[in-house]
């Protein structure tokens, strides 16, 4: 169910970016330090920025060790229940 929700949310975001890119056709130039781009439509710049952001998040998930925090939380809860069930050692 969670995977379907993520897929629908991603498709909705992609549709929104496509509509935004199609409606913003004014030309802009990007200047960064000494580099200056040719004139590009604003929608294309926004779509490129979102694409680079998604790409960087995707690369992060490939390079960073996978951590499933829900699984870790469940394991810690089970361990806590085990410890609560044990008798305390005499002081």
pLDDT digits (tens, 9 = 90+) for 19-58: 877 787 788 888 888 888 888 888 888 888 888 888 887 7
CA pair distance 38, 30, nearest whole angstrom: 8
Distance CA 18, CA 49 (A): 13
Predicted pLDDT of residue 19:
83
CA distance 79 to 17: 45
């Amino acid at each position: 169910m969670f995977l379907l929700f993520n897929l629908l949310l991603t498709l909705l975001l992609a549709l929104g970016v496509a509509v935004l890119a199609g409606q913003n056709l004014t030309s802009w130039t990007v200047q960064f330090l000494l580099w200056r781009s040719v004139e590009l439509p604003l929608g294309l710049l926004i779509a490129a920025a979102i694409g680079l952001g998604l790409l960087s998040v995707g690369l992060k998930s490939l390079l960073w060790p996978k951590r499933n925090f829900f699984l870790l939380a469940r394991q810690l809860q089970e361990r806590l229940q085990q410890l609560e069930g044990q008798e305390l050692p005499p002081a």
